[in-house]
Structure 1
Amino acid sequence: MSRVREIDAIRAFALLGILLANIGYLADPAHIALGALPEVDNPVGFAVSALVLTKFYVIFAFLFGYSFTLQMRSWGEDRVRARMLRRCLALLVLGLLHGFLLWFGDILTLYAVLGVVLLPMRNIRPRTAVIVGSCLIGFLTLVWAALGWLTSLDPTAATTSATMPAADPAAGARAVHLVTDGPLGFLTFQAENYPPYALFVWAFQGPTALALFLYGLAAGRSRLLERRERWEHLIPRVQWTGFLVGLPGAVFFAWASGRPDEFALYGLAVNTVTSLFLSAAFVATLLRVLRRFPALIDVLGPAGRMTASNYVGQSVLVALVFTGYGLGLAGRLAPPAAMGVAVAIYTLLLWLSSRWLRSHRHGPIEYGLRVVTLGTGRRTPVNPS
């Protein structure tokens, strides 16, 4: 089976969004003392919260489920279980190393566990997968909305939180100091922050990720992205619907994220649903651009073929710029400059991916995952995912 090059390009596009969402945490670690969501008191932070935060993990999770169907076809039903379990174990180990050494917001451990959950559901009918995924999204939306309503019933708590200091300056200063105080200081910061943030990622993104895995599984079993005639005519409708529903929800989410009351929870409820629409609109727009400028697939495709290597590579380069592993620029760059660094890192990784694949069949991390997954280092047919 040949590769679906549009899927590689979408993966690479998602990597850019993930980098833009993540870089602010290490560029300004002081605000980590506030909690899990970034500050929105500046135009860049507001734009990232509205247009980037959670939207690109939605795309990433959808493609994980879609790629699982491609892997099943490549491996054969009799090998799927053993190979998927080995792959998830390798992802779990890689994620733990990534989380403790480089990026406390690692997503690989969550994907590893949810991959095991997805395994017994692999033969689910597409319609059933969509229904189950939608129920998960609906349940999570109701949970956030209910928490917001319960918070509104206690005006004293809302008033208290509104009059509390926005941040602890000492905690913020300590975070910046640890991140920039050489490798040992940064490792101390990681050890303190990775466990609680891992729990946050699992609680905040876990149900949504599983729902998107199921949506991707349904799309993959229907071969949606592999049959151009099945999605080309849908692109304008997906764009209009996605942007009309997704953009207002995104703006509300970003506005609400900066509030200390129940609206922050209402914003999470709205975003749980509308982020799916906006993400779909982004993908539809990208497919439309790729159709008009097919040369972009050659630019984006190599990074999409090396997703894991680029995901970890982003963390390595961000750490070298902002932490004690390298230049230690955390807390020194304004948000627009940090976004400029993100674009530079992304451009560099696009170039490195293209160069690497001129002489290698797989990215370095992909090769390691492949060896563990297949249980052999011998040459085997190319995995189309």
Structure 2
Amino acid sequence: MYTANTPASACRLLHLDAWRGIAIAGILLVNVYAFGLPYAALNNPYLLATAKTADAYNWLLTSVLLDGSFRAILSFLFGAGLMLWQERLPPVQGGQLFFRRMSILLLLGLCHAYLLLWFWDILFMYALCGMLLFTVRKWSVSRLACLSLLCVFIADLNSNRKLLDDKMAIQQYELPNNTTAYKQLPKELNTQLLRVQSEREIIDKTTSFCRLYHQQLQRAWQVETVDFPGFYVWDILIWIILGIIFYKLKWLTGQVPPKLYKGLFLAGIAGLYLCWQRVQPAWQNNFDPIATIKDTRWQYYELARTLRSLGLLGLLIWIWQSGRGKGLWLLFAPLGRLSLSNYLVQSVVCAVLFYYTGFGLFGQLSRMQLLLTALIIIVLQLMISHWWIKKHGAGIAERLLRK
């Protein structure tokens, strides 16, 4: 267990465990809305009849400050962790052991998505991205940086293609005397249809296990076969590559130039501004999907998220380098050491809270109540993780992955 008296040699990577724990906690702060609300309500806080103004402000702050940043930090640490682990492997068997571990992670991800019913599982995605990057991990820093920038470009290019398709569909929809245009309008732009689907989703997830499973199965399949190759593969690769770059430059072992985190701070400020600008069309049009698409000139989610996440990374590095964050690291390090187990436990707890398999609170809590629920879960996980590390040393899922 990490304590204030732990020798430096034993906790030289204490900050990495702590960052991983912070990322796992932060991911729940965003994921809890997908656990507890209909899918369509994630981008429209007014979609449900029970929504209040506080829900809209909660959406705004989450979208500007949090959305995607903790996933970025976790991906970053995944990339750095792969390099650390590779160093300890024998040269002859390294590749074989690497792909064996990624295969186990992939299977855990499939079980997470289709047995624990969490359609936005990232383990499956991380396993595939890790396999994809195995051959490029030895590239030079400059080549890896270019590859990361290319991933940003491709992700936002795909988003802008979708934006253009929606704009063209709206133009067809608004043509005079066009009786077929209504059928051509994408369902995500039809507020009335989205409300009906959201009400049906609430009923399905709280009254029948078969309908619940069918809903989650369909969405998980959509994420893994459509959303992953179109968006998430690029989204995750960006930050895994950055983790590899930081490792190669020895910036994760204390050799961090002060100008680095200052530059990251500036990038974070620019990212926050872009995130604010990105959500303005939805906010100003009261989340009307058609008006929002009309007022959106470009989609730059990935660029904005990457810059904002660099700012968060800079903040973590600054706290670490200044020596002021020892208490914070000691608090979150056990959560990070059990990151895989805690990530899976979050899904189990939320399934019990929100779905037919438990209390059936899906669609019943406001966004503020969901935020409070996530904070309570995080506090409990922190307490249990400290106890578990002291008693057992490693998590069940972590041991399974190592075997």
Establish whether TM, by shorter chain, passes 0.5.
Answer: yes
CA contact (8 A) 1:5 1:297 kept: yes
1:151 CA displacement: 4.9
Q: Which has the larger radius of gyration?
A: 2
Q: 1:142 to 1:187 in 2, by over 3 A?
A: closer
Q: 1:101 to 1:57 in 2, by over 3 A?
A: same
d(CA) in 2 for partners of 1:152, 1:170: 23
Residue by residue, what CA displacement relative to the aligned partner does 1:162-189 show, whole Å, maximum 9, x if unpaired?
9843444432222112222254443233
| Number of matched pairs | 364
Q: 1:354 to 1:168 in 2, by over 3 A?
A: same
1:220-259 aligned at under 5 Å gives the runs: 220-227=247-254, 229-243=255-269, 245-256=270-281, 258=287, 259=289
Aligned sequence identity (%): 23
Unaligned runs of 5+ in 1: 372-385
1:12 pairs with 2:21 = yes
CA contact (8 A) 2:264 2:313 kept: no
1:195 pairs with 2:195 = no
Q: CA RMSD in A?
A: 2.5
Q: 1:235 is matched by which residue type in structure 2?
A: Y
d(CA) in 1 for partners of 2:374, 2:107: 26
Q: 1:242 to 1:222 in 2, by over 3 A?
A: same
d(CA) in 1 for partners of 2:237, 2:31: 21
1:152 CA displacement: 4.4
Q: 2:138 is matched by which residue type in structure 1?
A: N
Residue by residue, what CA displacement relative to the aligned partner does 1:278-300 show, whole Å, maximum 9, x if unpaired?
11111222343453131111100
d(CA) in 1 for partners of 2:32, 2:170: 35
Q: 2:232 is matched by which residue type in structure 1?
A: Q
1:113 CA displacement: 1.0
**Which of 231, 243, 247 is the aligned partner of 1:204?**
231
Q: 1:124 is matched by which residue type in structure 2?
A: W
CA contact (8 A) 1:40 1:255 kept: no
**Which of 77, 83, 106 is the aligned partner of 2:97?**
83
CA contact (8 A) 1:58 1:279 kept: yes
CA contact (8 A) 2:271 2:308 kept: yes
**Which of 278, 281, 285 is the aligned partner of 2:308?**
278
Q: 1:251 to 1:353 in 2, by over 3 A?
A: same
Residue by residue, what CA displacement relative to the aligned partner does 1:37-77 show, whole Å, maximum 9, x if unpaired?
53254111222222222222111111111111101112133
1:293 pairs with 2:334 = no
Q: 2:16 is matched by which residue type in structure 1?
A: I
1:222 CA displacement: 1.8
d(CA) in 2 for partners of 1:215, 1:287: 14
CA contact (8 A) 1:148 1:263 kept: no
d(CA) in 2 for partners of 1:323, 1:317: 10
Residue by residue, what CA displacement relative to the aligned partner does 1:70-118 show, whole Å, maximum 9, x if unpaired?
0111213323211111111111111111101231111111111111111
CA contact (8 A) 2:154 2:234 kept: no
Q: 1:236 to 1:122 in 2, by over 3 A?
A: closer
1:59-70 aligned at under 5 Å gives the runs: 59-70=73-84
Secondary structure in 1 matching 2:17: helix
d(CA) in 1 for partners of 2:153, 2:171: 30
Report the counterpart of residue 139 of structure 1 in structure 2: 154
Q: 2:14 is matched by which residue type in structure 1?
A: R
**Which of 29, 38, 47 is the aligned partner of 2:43?**
38
